[in-house]
Structure 1
Amino acid sequence: MENYCDLKGKVAVVTGASGGLGADAARAYAKQGADVALLARRKERLEALAEEIRSTGRRALAVQCDVANEESVEKAIEEVIGYFGKIDILLNNAGVAIRGGVCDLCVEEWDMGMDVNVKGIFLVSKHVIPHMIENKYGKIVNTSSINSIAGDKDDMFIRHVYNASKAAVRGLTMGMACSYGKYGITVNAVGPGLFESEMTADTLFKSDEFLKAYSRIVPLNRPARKGELNGAILFLSSDASSYITGQTIFVDGGFSIV
């Protein structure tokens, strides 16, 4: 059977790769044959993941990077190009989820949420896209969220800057797709529902009441399992999605349809 998500010969850059969904995606890229550049602030965790990926026979590079800082991003992408010579795939996955509503958040918290979740995608894309244009090929996948189209009524889970920033990711995805399609670059997004990660392990997944309520609402009757986002990411990162751009695929167990 033909492997439509074959990524042999491709180089993928993953931001926010030090844990959770980003680390899972990096492993999935490597399993499909891609070499992987791992970007995050926590270099020691990246090195451990890079060693794990190298043990599978793929090349991996760990690069410390603060996606909200342009100088850091520029240096990181230069290092990736210097090592691999090209970038075929960019997964803009770095993100933060800051709890609180507009009446509770301080300006610094609001700025942090927007800087990492939106400005980070802008900066990394800004420094990657010129290389993709030069090669007339690129697959960009941005991580949005089900919270880009849905809020939370429970005060414990209100995250207004997360709502705003992840909705902005969807808009940015559409704009980029329109501008760069003529260069052979597709830009899409994934919108995860409830996955266990560093963002959710100590909050959402520690509330049995919330998990029961969530499972009653979601058509598949459960939160996501580890690895269930990878299929959509691989699809949008491969030539299997060659005629798809500007879209957001919600990987949410059907939450967005109820």
Structure 2
Amino acid sequence: MSVFQLFDLTGKVALVTGGGRGLGKQIAEALAEAGCHMAICSRKLENCQETADQLGEKGVKTLALACDVTSKDDVKAVVNKVLSQFGRIDILVNNSGATWGATVEDMPAEAWDKVMNVNVKGTFLMSQEVGKSMIQKGSGKIINIASVAGLKAEPEEVLNAIGYSTSKAAVIHFTKDLARKWAKHQVYVNSIAPGFFPTTMTKAVLDRKGKDIVSHIPLKRIGDENMLKGAALYLASSASDFVTGQTLVVDGGASL
């Protein structure tokens, strides 16, 4: 097998949550360019449809769906629709996420619940439902989008969102535990921990403290629209067929 074949996803089917914009959209673009048919879901159907239309121009089949990943009924309905249209799900990218900036002493309990529900419960529910079909066919790749915030405790002037950081640390351990449980089914589970990238979620903090944040990154820059694509393609493809339960950190060295 050539090195190019290792990264070829022709004929595969991927489901990307939160794929209508930001990092999820970038990942969806990478997988589509490698030949993967794409199903994209998020709470905002219009974003997903716009991205799906763009990806369809690459010659792959696409499907846009609305989904609240914290709802078991929504998750089940979305997975059933993808399986009905494509017949299989080879790759799942759990990218949907939420955050809430506040000091620990001021963070509302409802905000904590929202962040944990989307980032942790949503990852669990989608993995559980998609995993059933992967176990049945004896193969699959699950990629959970964690964060460098789940690996280190940032000073409050950089990031003051303890619910987000805690949820992403949970995602990292969930990845390890699920990889251990499902290795016998040839279902691979890995995660990516991005550092600072320009997204809707990070815009406010980057606008306020971007220069200070960059000064603490060894490579002296934040991520751009291409820097996550290679990591996602690697974990989604046969190139990573001896890798499971791992977290690939893409942060410019910020966690060193």
- TM-score normalised according to structure 2 size: 0.96
Specify the code of the residue in structure 2 equivalent to 1:233.
A
Specify the code of the residue in structure 2 equivalent to 1:70.
K
Once the two structures are aligned, what percentage of the paired residues are identical? Answer: 38
Kept after mapping to 2: 8 A contact 1:16/1:40: yes
Partner residue in 2 for 1:255: 254
Specify the code of the residue in structure 1 equivalent to 2:64.
A
Determine the C-alpha separation between the residues in 2 that align with 1:18 and 1:105. 28
Determine the C-alpha separation between the residues in 2 that align with 1:153 and 1:48. 37
Partner residue in 2 for 1:215: 214
Specify the code of the residue in structure 1 equivalent to 2:241.
S
Query: What is the RMSD of the two structures over their aligned residues, measured on CA atoms?
Result: 1.2
Specify the code of the residue in structure 1 equivalent to 2:115.
G
Specify the code of the residue in structure 1 equivalent to 2:36.
A
Partner residue in 1 for 2:174: 172
Structure 2 stretches of 5 or more lacking a match?
Answer: none
Q: Give the number of aligned pairs.
A: 254
SS in 1 for 2:193: strand
Determine the C-alpha separation between the residues in 1 that align with 2:216 and 2:206. 16
Determine the C-alpha separation between the residues in 2 that align with 1:222 and 1:46. 29
Kept after mapping to 2: 8 A contact 1:151/1:158: no
Q: Structure 1 residues 170-179 or 42-51, which shifts more?
A: 42-51
Structure 1 stretches of 5 or more lacking a match?
Answer: none
Partner residue in 2 for 1:158: 160
Q: CA deviation at 1:196?
A: 0.4
Q: CA deviation at 1:215?
A: 2.0
SS in 2 for 1:98: coil
Partner residue in 1 for 2:189: 187
Is 2:136 the counterpart of 1:137? no
Determine the C-alpha separation between the residues in 1 that align with 2:135 and 2:191. 20
Q: CA deviation at 1:16?
A: 0.6
Cα distance change on mapping 1:155 and 1:215 into 2, 3 Å: closer
Specify the code of the residue in structure 2 equivalent to 1:2.
V
Kept after mapping to 1: 8 A contact 2:139/2:185: yes
- Equivalent residue runs for 1:1-258 within 5 Å: 2-3=3-4, 4-155=6-157, 157-201=159-203, 203-207=204-208, 210-257=209-256
SS in 2 for 1:142: strand
SS in 1 for 2:118: helix
SS in 2 for 1:36: strand
Q: Deviations over 1:79-106 (max 9, x none)?
A: 0000000000000000011111331111
Determine the C-alpha separation between the residues in 1 that align with 2:202 and 2:216. 18
Q: Deviations over 1:6-45 (max 9, x none)?
A: 1111100000112100011111110000000001010111
Q: CA deviation at 1:155?
A: 4.7
- TM-score normalised according to structure 1 size: 0.96
Q: Which runs of at least 4 in structure 1 moved beyond 4 Å after TM superposition?
A: none
Q: CA deviation at 1:156?
A: 6.9
Q: CA deviation at 1:113?
A: 0.3
